[in-house]
Each structure stands twice: as C-alpha cells, then as structure tokens.
Amino acid sequence: MKKSYFWVGPVVALAAANAHAQSSVTLYGLIDLGINYVNSAQTGRNADGSLNGKSLVSMSDGATRGYGGSRWGLKGSEDLGNGLSAIFTIENGYNIVNGAIAQGGAMFGRQAYVGLSSTKLGTIMFGRQYDTQSDFVVNYSPAIIAGISGSVPGDVDGLGHTRRVNNAIKYLSQNYRGLTFGGLYSLGGKAGDFTGSQIWALGANYAIGDFSAGVGYFNARDPNLSSFGNSPSSGGPATNNLGSLGSLTTAQSNPIYAGYASAHTFEIYSAGASYKFGPATFAASFSHSAFDSLGDLSAGPNPFHYSGTAIFNTATATISYLATPALLIGGAYTYTHGGGAGGNGSATYHQGIFAAQYFLSKRTELYFVGVYQAATGTDSLGQPAVANIELMPPSSTSRQFVGRVGIIQRF
C-alpha cells in the first residue's frame, strides 16, 4: 500500500549531547462503494399490523451496507529515544455516496487516540478506540472474508467493528514468543457513580507457525448508553439506542435485541482459532453474549417489561482460499441462538456467506458478497423472528438475502 509521508527532522539541543528526534505523519484512507440487492426490506406495517416488505436495489457506502466502510485518517509517531515513541491516530468515517459523516456525525468517529509505545513494555492509548476483541479475536470471525457484511446477526458478539468505546484507556503488550495480551477500561463519567456506564475488556492471542488462537472478554455497564449510545446522534436513557419498534411507515431497527435496552450490563465472552494449510485458511469462533439484569430504566426503556437475562450463543466457521495471487474466495456459516428474557421465547438465526475479492493492484480491488439468513422463533420485540442481515433493513419475513458488488480503493 502506497502512503504519503511528511517528515519533520528538528535538531533538539540537549544539555549533554545533541539528539535527532524523528517524527512522521501518515495520511491514509479507503473508499468503498457498492450496489446492493435485498430481496426483502421492511417499509413499515400494513393496515392489519403485519410487516410490509419489498425488494430493494441501492447504491451505498461500505460503512452503511457493505464491506469495509470509507474512511480517511492521520497516523503519527515521534521517536522519544530509548525505544519510546509518542503516537496518535485520528480516523474519520464518511459516506462516499452523499459525503455525509458516518458514526452518528462524529468527526473522527472511527478512532481518535493518543498514546505512548515502548519496544519493551508495549503500547498504551487514550481516546475513542475499538475494544480488545478487535485486537485478539476478530481474525477468527467471518469478518475476515466479508467485512461488516460478515457480522453475525446484530453484531451481537462485537466482532463486526460496528461499535467503538469512548473515554478508553487501552494497553497492548509486545509479542512475547507468540503471546500478546491487553486490556481496556473506559471511564463512565457519571458524577457520584464511578462504575456507571463504565466499560472494561480483556484479551489475549497466541500464534505459532500456521496456528493461532485468541480469547476476549467485554463488559459494558448501562450498554444502551455506554456501548450502543456513544455517538453524537444517540439519545439518553429514555431513548432506545439498540434499535426501534418501527411504525406504520418506517422499518424496525435491529429487532434481534432492540427490546433489551434496559439491560444493566452487557457482556461478551469470545474465543477463536485458525490454521493455515497452504493457500487455505480455516477459522472458527464461539461467543456468549448476555444482556443482564433487564428492567433498569435508568439505562433504557423497557416497553415489554422484561426482567432477568437475555443470552445469545454464537458459533462460526470460515474458510478462505487464495485461488490465484489476485483472487481470494471464501465462505462462512454462522449459528446464533438467543434465549429470551423472562421466559418470553427464543430465536435462532442461521446465516451463510460467500465472498470473493479480485485485486486489480495492491490498492484497488473488486468484490462480491452474498449473505443469506433464516430466522425461527420469537425475537426481542415479541414477534415471530424476522431475518436481519447486519446494516440492512430487517426483512418482513423470516428469510433475507443480500448481494453486493463493489469496488475498494485504498490510499
């Protein structure tokens, strides 16, 4: 990947000797544009209350309905000597179709942090960041072949890069003979309640030869506010930042777990592993996600009067194959079972994914992603479960197919 570098080489006068502090700033980015076909997209409700859906063809950015998500950013580092460097990253997401800012209108909503990196002790960063599952477990999920489109239903395991953490302090270790580890803590910022809206996460990874494995843990207090509601467009505790019930003229939003906004805590346990056989790579992951202690109205609304805990167990299997130096193909299967809160039913989601990437150069690629999802049972809105492929309007039925062709240009 070709990048632009701007070098600054001031001569710093020190008391004992002269040292040269080397700094660099890198401008980088990605443009992702595609055409989508969705066989069933909700448009609202019929007069009898049943869901109405129609097929949809649209052009969209990868961040809203697709593969990667357009972005531009700046990365910088300054050599402070003795293996220590100051670092920063600011990264903006935008919609290439209309030029709008993504991530709820946050100028640098994808990432924005500053920190220190040591060749001996690791790296510590402060600001808006991904949690540690992105560092240690995401490479075993279907996201490795299909990007955001490969997320499990609702990205309930957090491996689809759809959520960030504000006010975060994150530490990542150096590589110790294949072992890396790290942790994150986000200050909730509530006066008089130091644990309110806090987030913390842990993770580790081990790699040796063609085998690697990772584990992660994520815990968010008041998730409707801290994890799902941390962008400028989010609302307070009276707003459901997880999703919506929809209306006669609008589609539902994230019916998979939209009914669980009153959870006191949201936690995820995740693990994955992969093995490379020549041009083929096999990966598998498992996660357990739980919306705990439902009914906390200080966190979010509870229109269905849920109590107890709603859980989601997810298993995935992914294969990628480098057919030629320019062609990468892959497939994945995901199984998600949600246990309803307070005995209110449960839902199961089966999802199949096929993806192909053709690299015209190191910077430019063409791609295709096809995702099919089938749902059974009763979802969080107390209705027969409808299919809902990540970042797409929910289906009006229990089935949904999405096909996308697109182009990515990196710079």
Mean pLDDT of 122-135: 96
Residue with tokens 């962008």: 231
pLDDT in tens, 134-169: 999 999 999 999 988 889 999 999 998 888 999 999
**Structure confidence at residue 340 (pLDDT):** 77
pLDDT band at 341 (very low <50, low <70, confident <90, very high): confident
**Structure confidence at residue 16 (pLDDT):** 34
The closest alpha carbon to 326, from 358, 363, 369, 288, belongs to 358
The model's pTM = 0.90
Mean pLDDT of 171-200: 92
**Structure confidence at residue 147 (pLDDT):** 86
Q: Which two tokens stand for residue 124?
A: 């510590």
Mean pLDDT of 371-390: 95
**Structure confidence at residue 218 (pLDDT):** 97
Mean pLDDT computed over every residue of the chain = 91
**Structure confidence at residue 69 (pLDDT):** 87
Compute the distance between CA of residue 377 and CA of residue 22 in angstroms, rounded to an integer.
60
Structural domains in the chain plus CATH codes:
4-410 (2.40.160.10)
Give residues with Cβ within 8 angstroms of 46, minimum separation 6.
Answer: 52
**Structure confidence at residue 401 (pLDDT):** 97
Q: Which two tokens stand for residue 348?
A: 């199961």
Contact 215, 138 (CB under 8 A): no
**Structure confidence at residue 150 (pLDDT):** 86
φ, ψ of residue 146 in degrees (nearest 5): -130, 10
Mean pLDDT of 349-366: 96
Compute the distance between CA of residue 189 and CA of residue 192 in angstroms, rounded to an integer.
9
Compute the distance between CA of residue 158 and CA of residue 171 in angstroms, rounded to an integer.
19
Residue 12 pLDDT exceeds 60: no
**Structure confidence at residue 345 (pLDDT):** 67
**Structure confidence at residue 65 (pLDDT):** 58
Give residues with Cβ within 8 angstroms of 72, minimum separation 6.
Answer: 27, 28, 29, 30, 91, 92, 94
pLDDT in tens, 242-299: 999 999 999 999 999 999 999 999 999 999 999 999 999 999 999 999 999 999 999 9
